[in-house]
Structures are given as structure tokens and as C-alpha cells.
Chains A and B, each alone.
Chain A
Amino acid sequence: MKEFKPLPDLPPPVATTGFVGWLRENLFSSPLNSVMTLAVLYLLYTTLVPALDWAFFSAVFTGDDKTACEGITGACWTFVVNRIEIFTYGSYPATETWRLDICFLLLVLSFGPQFFEKFPYKLPLGVFSLTGFPVICYFLIAGGSFGLEHVETEKWGGLALTLMIAYVGIVAALPFGVVLALGRRSDMPVIRTFCIAFIELWRGVPLISVLFMSSVMLPLFLPEGVNFDKLLRALIGITMFQSAYMAEVIRGGLQAIPRGQYEAAQALGLSYWRMMGLIILPQALKLVIPGIVNTFIALFKDTTLVLIIGLLDILATVQAAITDPAWGAVATEGYVFAAACFWIFCFGMSRYSIKLEKKLHTGHKR
């Protein structure tokens, strides 16, 4: 009898490599592509070069007032540098800003290491950033105890306020969203109806009207003398609003889990909550990471809407500063700075979600 011997593995064919090969294959593979490449290069030249020139090469970064920027063609970053404290801390008392600095430092220390594969204490750190971190920050920022001077929420502002609202919104909207999504798929009619009503109500109104209601209407309905903080009301409004969106994103993930997963979990005797917590949600949440991050990013940018109820987040402080007659025409610089701040945080979230997806990928078949 003949013995079957598989052929030996051969190396793959050598592709056209090198820089010139790459250029030929990707940019100049046909006359049309060559023309397109040149056209795009020209377009980049006419837009990117002046933009870089404005932002960096002809820009001014130093100085004390607008005289430093007289007669230049580039950006007047002097304005931003001079106002950086109000953009970062809002009208928080200048002598107390070290408290916010500690919070910023804690923020970096508790989230930064999550980006590094090798860092060993990711889980405890993650728990800290969801529990200890917000509590410490609250006591530090609000003061009133441990000998710290009390600072009313009216004085909170700038980037610190933006981050605070976004953080609370994100951390609170996710668990609420999970509960609402599970409720909407529940077999129990009362719970299901409540969840559907809640989601559809909050999803059906614009965030601006939610914020208006919370700051203008709500106090009218409360009894005389009862008044709770404007920032707190805004936070609750944003959380409710975003958890409705989050619920629908998560419901999409729950629907993608095959019936067999539920059946296998039930057949093993797992209770409803164990089945959801150990089997279904870990898979469903992983599936909808892009959607969840999308909602987080939208939430982060929506925080700017709090300026209409008189909370001064970073965009509001920038807007107030550019109307200062002492500086002249610095609107562009102000808005570019605000946009850059938002972009850095949103891009960070996006990168982290990509990392997370890669890490949780466990095979090709489901």
C-alpha cells in the first residue's frame, strides 16, 4: 500500500517590495491613479501648508497681551497661553486650584496605565477608577470637609467641569443602559413596558430641552425651600438621556447572541442573573464596543450643551474669553484650542476601544 505524504510547506511568493514597489502599486498603478495622486498632493499642498504655517511657523506663543500678536500672520496662541488657567479651572478660586490638579493627576494615573499591555494591576486600578477615584475627586473639589474650604458648584468650570460631567455621565449611563436593555427584553410585562416607555421618552426629546427642563421647569414643581444643585440636576438629566441611548446599543448586542448560549447556560443550572452576568453580557458588550464608544464620544461632546443653562464648561469659558476687547480677533484660536481639547479625549477613547476589542478577540468562530 502506498503511504500518503503531504507536500512540504513552501514560503509564499515574494511580492514586489521596497518603497518604489509600494509607490508603483498603490499610487501610480494606472494613468488615472497617477493623475489622482498628483491632484491630491496638490490639494494637500494648498491646504495643509498654509494651515501648518498659521498654527506653528508664523504663530506667536509668548507675550503678555495683544501687542505681542500685532502684525503677525499666524495664530496668536499668546491668548490661549494667558488664559489657560480659566480654560482649565473655570472660576474655581485660584488659591485652591491645586485640588483640581490632584484630580487631573489621579485621572491620568488611573486611566493611563490601561493603555499598556504589560501593566500588572489593571483590574484593581479599573475598580479604583470607578469607585475610589470619583469619591476622592468629589471631596477634593467640593471641599467643606477635611479642613478644605467649600467651593460652590457655580464656581466649577472649564475643562475640569467638562471632564467631570463626561465622567459621571459615562460611568452612570453604562450600568443604567445595561439594566434598561435587559428590562426591555424581559418576559415580565410591567418591567418591559416601563423600560420601553423610559427609553422612548428620553430618546425622543432633544438634550437641550432635557437640560432646560432640569434647570428651569423642575424647580417650579418642587416645594418651596427644596432646591438641589443645578449641576446635579444637569448630571441626572444627561445620565438619563444617555442611558436610553446606551440601552438601545446594548440591546443590539443582546440580540446578536445566539439562542444556544442562553440554552447552554440554563441547562447548566445558572440563574437568570448569573447567566446574564457570566455568559450573555460579556459577549454582548464585547460585540457592541464600537457602539458604546460611539455613545461615549457623543456624550463627551454633548456636555458642551450645559452652557445654555449657565454652567461654564471649557467651550463656554473660551466663548466668554474671546469677547474680551483686550484681545481683539482671537475667536479662531479659541475655538481651535477647544476643538483640540475635545479631540484629544475622544481620540483617546477611540484608541482604547480598539485595544480592548483586539484583546477580547478569542477566535474566529462564534
Chain B
Amino acid sequence: MDNATSNELAVQLVGVNKWYGEFHVLKDINLDVTPGERIVICGPSGSGKSTMIRCINRLEEHQQGQIIVNGIELTEDLKRIDEVRREVGMCFQHFNLFPHLTVKENCTLAPIWVRKMPKAEAEDVAMHYLERVKIPEQAEKYPGQLSGGQQQRVAIARSLCMSPKIMLFDEPTSALDPEMIKEVLDVMVELANEGMTMLCVTHEMGFAKLVANRVIFMDAGQIVEQNEPHEFFDNPQHDRTKLFLSQILNH
């Protein structure tokens, strides 16, 4: 991995710093993600984990350092930002489906308007992915008529319709009832097994153990520790990590 050039990496963060006004949210972040790698990011709230993955598709701006996605460096240049966003899918904590469009229209919107796909083809693609997340029968409904778990699966399908190379998940199960978490995680596990590059902010440690290549622990805007899941959970190196793990695992 050390020898890899930036062209071969899916995502590369080099010395990234970010401030919200006076507040230093990201402190000298360095991260390399190889294609096909599944990374789980955890940490206490306010540690900057969401901010970090939101920087990867430029929902947040970084002020120092370099972020290179699929060989394209993110700068002020809107064209590059659009290019990166086309290849990077994102799922949000609160789903953020478009409530005025049906499930199918949610899925076909971006392929039609951004990828210039013909409508019929976009609908075929949408139905394909809706079947993969196991809710093709809801295609004509509006998001407001679905349960939280179903909405999040639609959100995943909507991202997949753009056939992204990288998927970002920002706490995808945090807003869900316990019974619905599993249906969303199942979809994500399936996606991981197919070799999708994934960066996932989550506290689902079972998911991390099952699919992650690497678990990253962040606190106070820094990457404190990263390791492959078994080492990470069984043999944490930092006291801060131990404290965090004891708090989320033993209750």
C-alpha cells in the first residue's frame, strides 16, 4: 500500500486540516483507501468522523492539505467536484430522499439528468437496484409512505443507480428502529461482498467485524488508531480506544 501511487488509490487524504470558524475539526488527517477496501470509522460524537467523509465528496470544504478521489484532486473547481460526486455515492443518517418524487423517480433522477441516460434505461436500472435492496414493490410509492428501514434501502439504491466506484455511509442506521437496522445492514454486507469500496461511519461493531478490512478510531479531529477489525477490537493500542470500546460494547 505504501508504494501505491495516487492514481491507484480510491481515496487519498494528505495532511487535511479543517476549521469551523475558530474550531479545529480535522487535524492533519492522512488516509489512503485502496479500491475494494471496506473501512469502518467510529469514534465519539464531535470527533470529526462525519466531517471527514463529507469532505470526500466536498459537502464540506477542507482548508489545508490534499484530497484526491479516483485520481482527481478536490479544489474550488466546480467541474472536478461534479466529476468526483458522479463517482461517489452517499447515504445519510436521515436518508434525505426527495419527498415530492416517487421511489422510482428518486432513483432515476440522477442517471437521467447527470448521466444523460434515456428514461426507459434509467427505469430498468432503478428497478434492478430496487430488487437488490428487496423493495421493487414500493417503486410507485412516495418516500413518506415507507418505513425508515425501507427509506434507507431506497437511499442506497438511489446511490447505486449512478454506479459509483466508492460509497460513503454517514451513520446509516442511527435513525432507525432496532428491528429495521438489520435489513439495512444486510444490504450493506451484500454490497461489501461484491467488492464495493466503502467508507462507513457507524457504531455497528458487528458489521465492522463482519465486513471491514480496517477500522479507524477518531477522537478530537484526529485518527487515533487504525487496524484490521480483530486486532482493533481484541487488542486496542490506545487508552482512548479502550475506553471507547468498553463504553459501546459493555452495556
A278 to chain B: which residues have CB within 8 Å? 109, 113
The A59-86 residues at the B interface (CB cut-off 8 A) are: none
Considering the complex, which residues of chain B in the window 92-116 have a beta carbon less than 8 Å from any beta carbon of chain A?
A: 92, 94, 96-100, 109-110, 113-114
Minimum Cβ distance to chain A for residue B241 (Å): 30
CA A258 – CA B92 in complex, angstroms? 13
Is there contact, CB below 8 Å, between B82 and A366?
no
Interface pair B96/A264, CB less than 8 Å apart = yes
Distance of B111 from chain A, by nearest CB (Å) = 9
Q: Is B15 an interface residue (CB 8 A)?
A: no
A118 cross-chain contacts in B, Cβ below 8 A: none
Q: Does A2 contact B (CB under 8 A)?
A: no
* Interchain CA distance A274-B159 in the complex, whole Å: 17
Cβ-closest chain A residue relative to B109:
A278
Q: Once the chains bind, are B99 and A283 in contact (CB under 8 Å)?
A: yes
B144 close to A366 (CB less than 8 A): yes
**Given known contacts A269-B85, A269-B162, A263 and B96 CB-to-CB distance under 8 angstroms:** yes
Q: Give the residues in chain B near A258, CB-CB below 8 Å.
A: 94, 96
Chain A residues, Cβ within 8 Å of B233:
none
A277 → B minimal CB distance (Å): 9
Q: Which residues of chain B from 149 to 168 have any CB-CB distance to chain A below 8 Å in the complex?
A: 155, 158-159, 162
- Give the interface size bracket for B toward A: 20 to 34
A53, chain B: closest CB distance, angstroms: 51
Contact of B114 among A269, A279, A360 (CB under 8 A): A269
Residues 192-211 (chain A) with a chain B CB within 8 angstroms? none
A362-B145 Cα distance, complex, nearest whole Å = 8
Residues of A within 8 A of B155 (CB): 264
B189 contacts partner chain A, Cβ-Cβ < 8 Å? no
Do the beta carbons of B99 and A366 come within 8 Å of each other?
A: yes
Contact residues in A for B142 (Cβ distance below 8 Å)? 362-363
**Interface majority SS on A: helix, strand, loop or mixed?**
helix
Tell me the interface secondary structure of chain B in the complex: mixed
| Chain B residues closer than 8 Å to A269, beta-carbon distance | 82, 85-86, 110, 114, 162
Q: Which A residue's beta carbon lies closest to that of B141?
A: A363
Is there an interface contact between B99 and A263, defined as CB atoms closer than 8 Å?
Answer: no
B85 touches A268 (CB 8 A): yes
Q: Please tell me if B57 contacts chain A, counting CB pairs below 8 Å.
A: yes
Q: Shortest CB–CB separation between residue A327 and chain B, in angstroms?
A: 55
Minimum CB distance partner of A279 in chain B? B98
Give residues 260-294 of A contacting B (CB, 8 Å). Answer: 260-261, 263-271, 274, 278-279, 282-283, 286
**B89 is an interface residue with CB less than 8 A from chain A:** yes
Flag whether A364 is at the interface (Cβ < 8 A).
Answer: yes
Name the contact of B94 in the complex, choosing from A260, A271, A279, A286 (C-beta under 8 A).
A260
CA A279 to CA B143, docked complex, whole Å: 14
B74 at the interface (CB under 8 A from A): no
Partner of B158, one of A261, A268, A271, A279: A268
Cross-interface CB contact of B98 among A261, A360, A364, A365, cutoff 8 Å = A261
Q: How far is the CB of A356 from chain B (nearest CB, A)?
A: 13
Expressed in whole angstroms, the Cα–Cα distance for A351 and B90 within the complex equals: 41
Q: Which residues of A contact B114 (CB under 8 A)?
A: 268-270, 274
Q: What would 28 A/B residue contacts be, using CB atoms closer than 8 Å?
A: A258-B94, A263-B59, A263-B92, A264-B92, A264-B155, A265-B98, A266-B57, A267-B57, A267-B89, A268-B85, A268-B110, A268-B114, A268-B158, A269-B114, A269-B162, A270-B113, A274-B114, A278-B109, A278-B113, A279-B98, A282-B100, A283-B100, A362-B99, A362-B100, A363-B99, A363-B143, A363-B145, A365-B99
**A residues near B, CB below 8 A?**
258, 260-261, 263-271, 274, 278-279, 282-283, 286, 360, 362-366
- List the 8 closest pairs (A to B, CB-CB), nearest first: A363-B144, A264-B96, A260-B96, A268-B110, A269-B85, A267-B90, A362-B142, A269-B86
